[in-house]
Structure 1
């Protein structure tokens, strides 16, 4: 996952000031706090975050001062020797390239809280670098706290261990204790132990207040005296998470470092270690720009061979006359490689109309051929049919090398005009992806900035944005030429840089030439074919789901004693927590009782209503995501659903599926399987599904060379039963279902870095029992342990791991000081070779199967779903195709164990699977 580090500037400064002795430089200027801050910043940057911000309090009052004029009234003035260090601190932060954020009317905590939740919602891992306990309320699945001075981190379990309460209870915890520094009134004499005790018993501050009469002794009296002010204390302690900010999370990239300014400041304040790092090529390299996102990077020596000529403006030709077209056709015919791009009316290539085409054969020179610009006063353009007919022989000539940026899209567009593009030898998007799948996004703009130092023209600058955006066909030809021809030109320039890189790494070049490039036309053909959908069956299922949702609603109304909206969090809060008085286990960021899945699961054993709501939501998701939406995705021209396969999305090499996503249709429930029943074969055909059996475990056996695993697979045993027999010391025929289930959880869990805690939770057993299972597993399969140790060691040494076929996954966090980041990278190091090799194997199989099927009309590949291929096969050749498919899929890799392929057939996908 990408990482955002949010630095609490005030916390850094005060912590360093109070923790370090009163140091000074040769001129007598105070430097103690500054020295501590600089060291903490350097530590933070060594973790190579994708995004980072240094957040400080703005001057002036905040909304909390309006709520409570006495807020922070007890704070002493800042010492002069600390105040003197603020300006140089800001200069150093600025020179390091960190964005500095200040927002008037709120505190730094509120800015941090807002960004943390925005980033977490986008799947970005957030590290809040602070020593402020108030920040613990932000901790969650994607948010951790890090104290770089003590080198400690807090995740949800760490928060509970430290404070005795969960992150969702921190605000109530702070309100009960109060804060003498911030002058937040709490309950007199209520310390952390008492606050934690009350919240353990009553869960929430509201419940504590409602139960105040039950609490005896002096502390109970103090609580009752504080009842009027506790809501205000909670409001003051709550971090605001909806601040309107001028920048998005993705705007917080690290800017280019100002070495000269840093050198001057470090020398002035006597920071010799920092100065040495700055001037060396060793320990300071992490500050030289390696962690700077592409949009802010300048070239690093030896990294990307940036040529100034590649960042120069191009010269572009607008082709509106036949004579011009003939000249360009002559250039294209004689060119060694043709870079091409299409401009269209839609992002859906199988419904898009061509507006124009662009070409480049030399860096800096390109042409745009407009075909359908129809704004008032638009110049005459060449007829589309004439231009496409002239280009068709070139496009279909497999011996003429072609280049695109995400060429599959353009191939699909041209297929609608009867042109089957052949000879796509290069794709700059895939060249970047194979070179380093995790280094940057692989869209053209990101790549141009990273590898060329060039900023392409934004689409919005020629077409407008939002409600005022116009179709490309209404863009003036001059602007359209500048934009469209640049696309082809920059694609060619990118290829020149990226291909020279791949040529230096034979294993990566082989991955590109033997896997990724040959797969482009295979995927294009699959996308063009699509899959037949029984829309009537989906409508019936939607109706049945709606009926069941209504029945659940009526049952819920009867239990609650009144009607309410099961889709309304506010109404659910009122029913569950105000009326039924169920405990609040999880809170929203604003301190309200949460009704999300985690919160409902936590209380589902205490009342029947939460489980009903969860069931209702599950049905609602199936209906909105699949049974309703799939029918809307049917292409009106073909009557089929055409997904789009992403080759440059998953870092491990797996394909993704979108618009619609056909890879996440649930199969473990009856409702999910019914959705697959709507994927049908046309008359005279059957659906054939071929699935690799336990492929990642087989790859683990191959990579580890463990004798026990190899023996189980070579002997055709049930590997989970064999593992259970080894772990529990039983003959295989005496292994019961629970023991096999435990062994299966271990087999798969270890590949994803699961520890005793995760296994215990999955199996519902004690942690020490789970730990015992794992210990026995490694005792029986020592080769697996050795493989895991070796791959971690290699990852630390090389910074990457490889698949069997040479695909690399770079692990940017493998040497991170943050233990959570480092542990995540180590888990990825173990799993990526297996998942990536599985991805490579099925891609190789797809290429072989596509070539074998050729132009056959009686058997066609339709879908790839993880380790499964789905075909449409005429009934009379089903056995022939099944045998040939199994043979070719099994031969897609030579491993130390056999690749087993399970094949099923049926009238629909569910029957075949």
Structure 2
């Protein structure tokens, strides 16, 4: 057997590893039911390989999604292969995350297979005299073997050099392609030559030579001593085209154009903190133990110097049962420069949550829990809740006493239910993490504690259980509840110290946190507590109308299809559309079935009636289930209003999102969606006012690009789409047609989202070359925009992030990805994020200014009620509407200063739809 002396360059066939691990190992899942067997198998093989060779240069190569050049050559290539099982597909993304965290370079190149990337890199290495080991289970790779290239099968630990290939295949490596071409390959659906098997292929190749030699010497085949040699020449002649096609399909491409070379593919230091999070998530306990002891040390030097060095324990946590102890703690909190505060409640719904206890921490390691409503059998006597809140109220409402919390907006809402206005919110660790890096990880306490403090917190499920039998906090024994609650406060204070040290060195990020996100939390809390009136009778009638229309659509579709079927069943819809009606298959799912996605149905709807009706059916069903049926059930019995939750730390760009209900997704472009908005109404004697930023992202584009044409158009108050059309189509402003304006609008907004000529052509339903001409003309007229886009892409690659006008960062981990689709996606995000993020910053700053004005008036005439995209919605007393609208418009337009004016349009009405 061949041996290897520490090769400097190792190429791992990740796709081969993946499939072998999936099919060769028993199924494995974690406690959440996530499939993890393939991840475990691949990582196990990689760890074994690295331990054996300790490579100085390495790359792990995976197949990209989608077709390759071989599919263009032969449509039946790999057609025999079943679609990737969902339980395998779900493991690819986490597997890649773990490999990257291990510090190993990953390569995924579109349009070719992993074999081709490996072949190219191995060829380059060979030309440079670098010995290479390819770790794979793929027999096709044997064609690459030479004196510099060796294969290793990690599962069997078998090494194959030139002699090993001869032993296995009975031919030298340089004839392996010919061998595969002659006998074919059922797995890859390479046809080969009918009647040629292993022995006859070996006899042909060893007796005559490669395929070219064989076809030049067909008369010599009969003289070879293998069974069927006499009739083989005729078969070879009959199937020559098939043999040569098979040769082309079996040949590993060794000239892939890519940016990698062996010398630059070096392993980096593994990210033990990230690995700890991932190994915890997927429950690889043995590996978790290995990295957990190193995780804190592997954080950046900055983090390790600020994170507590001692092990976190709960030996000095207190549970407060008597008034004297509480009084002592209140004095300590009042004197502290900053203290952490947290509530324990019965529900995540802030309008329904009842206070069960309070936890506080004024110094790392010293925390207290004050239980007030644990009511399980045998629970010890606790301090009276009302009395405790009365003692806490002056401290909590004092704006000079500084507090920090983790998602403290929730605690502010809970306290508001008890008549306490929490003030003095100085920091929020969730928001600190989000401002530092919105995309790095989740921003919950458990994740942050593990990442920044190397500490695994007590999880709620650990003390409350899971599923339907999960206890509410008041039912949990204090022996378990108190350490959990006190730890929350302790960890919050410790996290703040670590995160603030980082933020305090970045002036712009510090400003985003202190001037925008933290004050906004209180603004959002007031909006959440206010809620919005819903006309449930109007929605009830809407639901009945929708049900009738949905029923009509279902019957019409059944008539068109010629049979009844479940419109909500993807499988039945596929059968009707693509098997029975034989509509063209535009796109396939990962499992190989015809897709019935919205995008596909939109395209089919241009020519066929059923897809159009299915789209309408889906839209109306979603509207009914999500809004008209659900909203009335969400009305709070105490207030008679619906109370959404706004989320500050979810989107990558800084935009707010909302849930229960999601206000951002109520349709506005169709009548049925607008009817939902008509059910959002004010209290008696008030009106709804909606104030909306006009074309804010295009204005931000003008500011960022400093393009003279755009700046002039906005400064002069021109219709930007008409102005763009005049430039692109070389028309006078007054001569621009409605169609030209529509095209210009598509270009304007398309560029913001990085739309390609292909995307524009689909949107405008014009040829691709025509769409490209439009874009070329646009960039000719607005060269500053093109320069901004080019400069932003370059800067993103250099820094790894982009910034808004005000300094908010969006990190782009895929900006240097070898996978073209991921890289281009990151480039599109690099262009769009500064605009979308700046728009988010501006409306947040506007909300703070408007809220300050409303609070300073201290009356019940004006309420800020909702925020949706670039729009603020108010409830204003009828006799105040005009004056208040004028003030709101002024505050919003002056929330920030750009190179072009901000424009706000305000409307009013007896419901949200009228006001918009």
Q: TM-score range by the shorter chain?
A: 0.7 to 0.9
Aligned to 1:35: 9
Q: How does 1:211-230 map to 2 (within 5 A)?
A: none
User: 8 Å contact 1:94–1:100 — kept in the other structure?
Assistant: no
Aligned to 1:906: 909
User: Does 117-126 or 462-471 show the bigger shift?
Assistant: 117-126
- Rounded to whole Å, the distance in 2 between the matches of 1:635 and 1:739 is 49
- Secondary structure of the structure 1 residue equivalent to 2:864: strand
Displacement of 1:821:
2.6
- Rounded to whole Å, the distance in 2 between the matches of 1:562 and 1:180 is 44
Displacement of 1:133:
12
Displacement of 1:342:
0.8
Aligned to 1:309: 309
Q: Match for 1:896 among 890, 895, 899?
A: 899
Aligned to 1:647: 648
Displacement of 1:433:
1.1
Displacement of 1:147:
4.5
Unpaired runs of 5+ residues, structure 1, are 1-21, 45-51, 64-83, 102-106, 137-143, 153-176, 191-217, 223-272
Distance 1:583 1:93, change over 3 A: farther
Q: How does 1:749-760 map to 2 (within 5 A)?
A: 749-760=750-761
Aligned to 2:220: none
Displacement of 1:786:
1.6
Aligned to 1:563: 564
Displacement of 1:125:
14
- Rounded to whole Å, the distance in 1 between the matches of 2:4 and 2:120 is 26
- Rounded to whole Å, the distance in 1 between the matches of 2:83 and 2:737 is 54
Q: Deviations over 1:122-162 (max 9, x none)?
A: 999999989999999xxxxxxx999566599xxxxxxxxxx
Aligned to 2:742: 741
Displacement of 1:798:
2.1
- Secondary structure of the structure 1 residue equivalent to 2:303: coil
Displacement of 1:313:
1.3
Displacement of 1:109:
9.4
1:552 equivalent to 2:527? Answer: no
User: 8 Å contact 2:864–2:872 — kept in the other structure?
Assistant: yes
Aligned to 2:411: 410
Aligned to 2:205: none
- Rounded to whole Å, the distance in 2 between the matches of 1:441 and 1:146 is 36
Q: How does 1:624-773 map to 2 (within 5 A)?
A: 624-773=625-774
- Secondary structure of the structure 1 residue equivalent to 2:680: coil
User: 8 Å contact 2:357–2:370 — kept in the other structure?
Assistant: yes
- Rounded to whole Å, the distance in 2 between the matches of 1:528 and 1:53 is 53
Distance 1:784 1:573, change over 3 A: closer
- Rounded to whole Å, the distance in 2 between the matches of 1:85 and 1:466 is 36
- Secondary structure of the structure 1 residue equivalent to 2:865: strand
1:874 equivalent to 2:884? Answer: no
Distance 1:348 1:183, change over 3 A: closer
User: 8 Å contact 2:11–2:58 — kept in the other structure?
Assistant: no
- Secondary structure of the structure 2 residue equivalent to 1:357: strand
Q: Match for 1:56 among 9, 13, 20?
A: 20
User: 8 Å contact 2:714–2:900 — kept in the other structure?
Assistant: yes
Aligned to 1:344: 345
Aligned to 2:802: 801
Q: Deviations over 1:402-430 (max 9, x none)?
A: 11000000100111000110110110111
CA RMSD of aligned residues (A): 4.0
- Rounded to whole Å, the distance in 2 between the matches of 1:591 and 1:820 is 20
Q: Deviations over 1:82-123 (max 9, x none)?
A: xx999646756999999999xxxxx99988753425778999
Q: How does 1:253-402 map to 2 (within 5 A)?
A: 285=268, 287=270, 292=275, 294=277, 297-298=295-296, 299-306=298-305, 307-309=307-309, 311-314=311-314, 315-402=316-403
Normalising by the residue count of structure 2, what TM-score does the alignment of the two structures yield? Answer: 0.74
Aligned to 2:185: 181
Aligned to 2:129: none
- Rounded to whole Å, the distance in 2 between the matches of 1:567 and 1:776 is 45
- Secondary structure of the structure 2 residue equivalent to 1:809: strand
Displacement of 1:889:
0.6
Aligned to 2:422: 421
User: 8 Å contact 2:110–2:819 — kept in the other structure?
Assistant: no
Give the length in aligned residue pairs. 738
Aligned to 1:859: 862
User: 8 Å contact 2:850–2:888 — kept in the other structure?
Assistant: yes
Distance 1:464 1:554, change over 3 A: same
User: 8 Å contact 2:700–2:839 — kept in the other structure?
Assistant: yes
Distance 1:445 1:785, change over 3 A: same
Distance 1:112 1:553, change over 3 A: closer
Displacement of 1:669:
0.7
Displacement of 1:461:
0.9
Aligned to 1:433: 434
- Rounded to whole Å, the distance in 2 between the matches of 1:401 and 1:674 is 45
Distance 1:567 1:883, change over 3 A: same
- Rounded to whole Å, the distance in 1 between the matches of 2:434 and 2:116 is 32
User: 8 Å contact 2:534–2:679 — kept in the other structure?
Assistant: yes
User: 8 Å contact 1:530–1:640 — kept in the other structure?
Assistant: yes
Distance 1:133 1:860, change over 3 A: closer
- Secondary structure of the structure 2 residue equivalent to 1:382: coil
- Rounded to whole Å, the distance in 1 between the matches of 2:399 and 2:311 is 31
Distance 1:735 1:178, change over 3 A: farther
User: Does 674-683 or 781-790 show the bigger shift?
Assistant: 781-790
- Rounded to whole Å, the distance in 1 between the matches of 2:268 and 2:108 is 27
Aligned to 1:169: none
Distance 1:683 1:419, change over 3 A: same
- Rounded to whole Å, the distance in 2 between the matches of 1:109 and 1:89 is 32
- Rounded to whole Å, the distance in 1 between the matches of 2:189 and 2:915 is 66
Aligned to 2:87: 114
- Secondary structure of the structure 2 residue equivalent to 1:663: helix
